[in-house]
């Protein structure tokens, strides 16, 4: 039986390192994770660029800013009112730690995850993206591409919830934090380029380990 490690190695060999997550600072990566909810990265990037151009991309400035102004600047990311609310909810929580990522670094992952999930409009995928990409915690990020690809390949039935899928990766994928970072990014790449809704199985790099090769519709 092939393993998650095998799938990772094959995807890495074919697509190469993905250099995620874009962002110059931990704070930018965190805000990017919130803005990327339910949209392509290019739209989130436009919202980040707008915040930067208006000199707003710092915790102190965004914390003081009116939510209407934030919503205006992040319009390209879609769902901008909800995302402005999520950013402000995150900042109210982050303020308790004096906006210090060093303070967050001292908190055990399980506690930090629980706290992030207690913030309004921060769900599993966003919390885990912040943990993995902004805080370098070994936490697997699950998304719709993960579910689709690993159901087709044969690891999932398709009925598992987020936590069950994450638990499978935590139990069976033996990579380190760097590999967790790359694996999720490679899954997104594969889900966009090959294993799309109508998959390009004849061009697939993991076709030899996929149970749905040529069958998925």
CA distance 59 to 69: 15
Segment contacting ligand SF4 by CB under 6 A, of 113-121, 129-137, 168-176, 198-206: 198-206
Q: How far is the CB of 3 from ligand SF4 (least distance, A)?
A: 15
Closest by CA to 149, choosing from 103, 97, 201, is: 201
Each residue of 145-155: b (16+ CB within 10 Å) or e? Answer: bbbbbbbbbeb
**Residues 139-178 close enough to bind ligand SF4 by CB under 6 A:** 149, 152-153
What 3-state class would DSSP assign to 155?
Answer: coil
Q: How far is the CB of 166 from ligand SF4 (least distance, A)?
A: 20
Q: Is 112 in the site for ligand SF4 (CB under 6 A)?
A: no
Q: Is 11 in the site for ligand SF4 (CB under 6 A)?
A: no
Q: Is 191 in the site for ligand SF4 (CB under 6 A)?
A: no
What 3-state class would DSSP assign to 77?
Answer: helix
Size of the chain in residues: 217
Query: Are the C-beta atoms of residues 138 and 176 closer than 8 Å to each other?
Result: yes
Q: How far is the CB of 205 from ligand SF4 (least distance, A)?
A: 8
Residues of this chain that bind ligand SF4 (CB under 6 A): 149, 152-153, 194-195, 199-201, 204, 206-207, 210, 212-213, 216
């Amino acid at each position: 039986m092939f393993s998650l490690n095998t799938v990772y190695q094959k995807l890495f060999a074919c697509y190469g390192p993905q250099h995620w997550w874009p962002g110059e600072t931990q704070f930018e990566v965190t805000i990017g994770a919130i803005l990327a909810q339910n949209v392509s990265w290019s739209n989130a990037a436009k919202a980040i660029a707008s915040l930067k151009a208006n000199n707003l991309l710092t915790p102190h400035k965004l914390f003081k800013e009116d939510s209407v102004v934030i919503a205006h600047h992040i319009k390209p990311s879609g769902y901008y009112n909800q995302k402005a609310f999520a950013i402000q909810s995150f900042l109210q929580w982050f303020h308790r730690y004096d906006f210090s990522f060093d303070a967050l670094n001292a908190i055990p992952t399980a506690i930090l995850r629980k706290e992030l999930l207690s913030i309004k409009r921060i769900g599993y995928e966003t919390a885990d993206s912040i943990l993995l990409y902004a805080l370098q915690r070994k936490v697997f990020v699950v998304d719709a591409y993960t579910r689709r690809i690993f159901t087709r390949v044969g690891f999932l039935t398709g009925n598992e919830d987020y936590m069950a899928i994450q638990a499978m990766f935590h139990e069976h994928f033996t990579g380190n934090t760097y590999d967790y970072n790359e694996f999720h990014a490679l899954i997104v790449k594969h889900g966009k380029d090959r294993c799309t809704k109508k998959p390009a199985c004849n061009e697939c790099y993991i076709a030899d380990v996929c149970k749905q090769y040529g069958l998925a519709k």
